[in-house]
Structure 1
């Protein structure tokens, strides 16, 4: 998540604490709105132990089957 927070800081110029809070809000929103398997992959990707490609594939499959 640090990488994402740093990206928000660089792109917006807001303080790190505000960027972290913004990232947490967005991730929380996504986890509530997406199906559970994809929401779990978001946690994995943000923690650095997963691949963002896995989240993208899961989301494509979800949209394809909706």
Structure 2
């Protein structure tokens, strides 16, 4: 989560404490609104180091694809 907090602080021009609060608020919101299997991945992404974030994000996106339904051209 530290990497994301630093990025948010930089991009938004806020302190790291404010960025941490923002990231935690968004994460809690997502965990509340998403189905449990996907919500669990939110915390995994935040806990992962930078090298693992890509893999965890891919897992979340795959889960969202199933949740949202896939649209096939035909």
- TM-score relative to the length of structure 2: 0.81
Aligned to 1:54: 59
Q: Which 5+ residue runs of structure 2 have no aligned equivalent?
A: none
1:30 aligns with 2:35: no
- Name the Cα RMSD after superposition: 1.4
State the number of aligned residues: 65
Q: In the TM superposition, what is the alpha-carbon distance from 1:41 to its structure 2 partner?
A: 0.8
In 1, Cα distance between equivalents of 2:63 and 2:23: 21
1:63 aligns with 2:65: no
Tell me the alpha carbon deviations over residues 27-64 of structure 1, each in whole angstroms, 9 at most, x when there is no partner: 00000000000000111111105621001110111000
Q: Which 5+ residue runs of structure 1 have no aligned equivalent?
A: none
Query: Once structures 1 and 2 are overlaid, which stretch shifts more, 11-20 or 45-54?
Result: 45-54
Could you list the structure 1 runs, at least 4 aligned residues long, displaced by more than 3 angstroms after superposition: none
